[in-house]
């Protein structure tokens, strides 16, 4: 075992691909254990995610929140803000957006949708800067606070939906339906391919510009590299760190807005099945780079959407999607190791 002088460029690209394949190979064991031929299972997965127009548009429906959560986490991790709280920030963003969207009945769409996006962004951002400020001012561990924040926020949302917002007729824990002027337009007729998917891609472009073309992005990379070296270099570490948290949480909040205004149309307690956690997997598999995150989100969307199809076709439990995601991440960590080291023959 010997350290490479520089991480191998070729292997850096190969690592996520090979890791994913190995992870799918390992995941064949539980699929087989569930009484399904893994080959048939994976065929159903691919067919269900990419097989026809409906499957494809549904994969993109899944892609939007995953991409936003992946970008949110990637931005945070770039400056070593260990934000595991995208899930809670997503909920907070959706909650804030729904406060506005439910009551915005008389506001025309071209005003209502931008305002809703801003409100949702601020909701997620507000929830994210609390742990960032605690980290900067009091050195409170950000991993723990962002994680616990997810629980606090999901229970807060549940308390509102089971309490003041409980549907008076059905008793379901869901908010009233949002104003039709705040619903995202459908871009491909006969599907659920909504405006939010395009917006998510625009955020990815904005992420690229921020990280690669602006002073802030340069400084964030610096902070991620070495905080101690960033101070004498004249970087205001605290300010940049909190601003990155603001953006990171805001992007996660937008993921919540997209689910609210593009898919569900009312606030529910299960607006996200764990997109925020998958965001961590995506950010790592994508190597924190904009293009990498887009590709990793597409991969995860295929896995999640395809596993649903596999579940419907073969009865394999739906929890398989989460299992595969976790295994992909673990395999990737081993894969990354081989981009930094090589086996020395005959040593």
Partner 1 sequence: MTVRMATPLIYGTIGETFTERAGVLNLGIEGMMLMGASVGFLVGYQSGSLWLGMGAAVLTGVLLGLIMAFLTVSVGAQQHVAGLGLTIACSGLSFYIYRVWVSDVGGVAPHMRPFTTIPIPYLSQIPILGDVLFNQYALVYIGLILVPISAFILFRTRFGLSLRAVGENPDAAATAGINVFQTRYVCLVVAGVLSAVGGAWLSLAEAGMFLPGLTQGRGWVCIALVVFANWSPMKVLAGAVLFGGIDALQLSLQGVGWNIPYQLFLMLPYVLTILVLIAVSRRARAPAALLLSYKRED
**Which one of residues 40, 188, 317, 342 is an interface residue with partner 1 (CB under 8 A)?**
317
- In this structure, the chain runs to a length of 347
- Answer yes or no whether residue 309 interacts with partner 1 by CB under 8 A: no
Task: Report in angstroms how near the CB of residue 342 gets to partner 1 at its nearest.
Answer: 13
CA atoms of 218 and 215, how far apart (whole Å): 5
Site string for partner 1, 259-298 (x = CB under 8 A): ------------------x--xx--x--------------
CB of 98 to partner 1, least distance (A): 17
Rounded to a whole number of angstroms, the minimum distance from the CB of residue 260 to partner 1 is 20
The Cβ of residue 326 has, within 10 Å, a number of other Cβ atoms equal to 15
At its nearest, how many Å lie between partner 1 and the CB of residue 320?
Answer: 6
Rounded alpha-carbon distances, angstroms, from residue 150 to 86, 96, 153, 250, 271: 8, 15, 5, 15, 13
The 3-state DSSP composition of the chain as helix, strand, coil percent (nearest 5) reads: 75, 0, 25
DSSP states of 265-309: SS-BTTS-SSHHHHHHHHHHHTTT-HHHHHHHHHHHHHHHHHHHH
Among 25, 54, 140, 188, contact with partner 1 (rule: CB under 8 A): 140
Are 310 and 45 within 8 A, CB to CB?
Answer: yes
139 binds partner 1 (CB under 8 A): yes
Residue 147 sits in the site that holds partner 1 (CB under 8 A):
yes
Could you say whether residue 84 binds partner 1 (CB under 8 A)? yes
Q: Is 28 near partner 1 (CB under 8 A)?
A: no
Give the nearer residue to partner 1 in terms of CB position, either 225 or 317: 317
# chain residues binding partner 1, by CB under 8 A: 49
CA distance 111 to 144: 38
Q: Which residues, other chains included, contact 170 with Cβ-Cβ below 8 Å and sequence gap of 6+?
A: none
Closest approach of partner 1 to the CB of residue 109, in Å: 33
Whether the CA torsion 133, 139, 140, 141 is positive or negative: it is positive
Q: Which residue carries 């629980």 as its tokens?
A: 151
Residue 145 in the binding site for partner 1 (CB under 8 A): yes
Which CB, 158 or 195, lies closer to partner 1? 158
At a CB cut-off of 8 Å and minimum separation 6, what does 19 contact?
285, 328, 331, 332, 334, 335
Residues lying near partner 1 in the complex (CB under 8 A) = 3, 30, 33-35, 82, 84, 134, 138-141, 143-145, 147-149, 151-152, 155-156, 158-160, 162-163, 277, 280-281, 284, 315, 317-327, 329-330, 333-334, 336-337
């Amino acid at each position: 075992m010997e350290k490479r002088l520089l991480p191998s460029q070729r292997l850096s690209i190969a690592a996520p691909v090979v890791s994913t394949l190995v992870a799918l190979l390992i995941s064949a064991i539980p699929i087989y254990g569930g009484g399904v031929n893994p080959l048939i299972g994976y065929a159903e997965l691919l067919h269900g995610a990419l097989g026809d127009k409906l499957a494809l548009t549904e994969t993109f429906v899944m892609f939007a929140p995953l991409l936003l959560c992946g970008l949110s986490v990637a931005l945070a991790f770039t400056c070593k803000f260990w934000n595991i709280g995208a899930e809670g920030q997503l909920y907070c963003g959706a909650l804030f957006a729904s406060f506005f969207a439910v009551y915005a009945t008389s506001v025309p769409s071209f005003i209502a949708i931008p305002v809703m996006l801003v409100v949702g962004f601020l909701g997620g951002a507000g929830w994210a800067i609390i742990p960032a400020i605690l980290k900067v001012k009091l050195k409170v561990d950000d991993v723990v606070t962002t994680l616990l924040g997810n629980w606090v926020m999901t229970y807060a949302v549940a308390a509102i939906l089971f309490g003041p917002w409980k549907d008076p007729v059905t008793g379901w824990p869901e908010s009233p339906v949002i104003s039709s002027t705040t619903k995202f337009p459908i871009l491909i007729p006969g599907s659920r391919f909504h405006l939010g998917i395009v917006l998510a891609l625009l955020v990815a472009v904005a992420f690229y510009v921020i990280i690669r073309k602006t002073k802030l992005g340069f400084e964030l990379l610096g902070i991620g590299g070495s905080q101690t070296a960033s101070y004498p270099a004249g970087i205001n570490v605290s300010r940049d760190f909190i601003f990155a948290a603001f953006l990171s949480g805001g992007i996660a909040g937008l993921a919540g807005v997209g689910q609210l205004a593009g898919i569900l149309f009312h606030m529910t307690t299960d607006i996200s099945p764990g997109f925020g956690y998958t965001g961590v997997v995506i950010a790592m598999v994508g190597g924190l780079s904009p293009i990498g995150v887009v590709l990793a989100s597409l991969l995860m969307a295929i896995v999640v959407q395809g596993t649903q199809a596999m579940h419907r076709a073969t009865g394999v439990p739906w929890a398989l999607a989460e299992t595969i995601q976790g295994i992909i991440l673990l395999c990737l960590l081993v894969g990354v190791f081989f981009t930094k080291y090589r086996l020395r023959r005959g040593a």
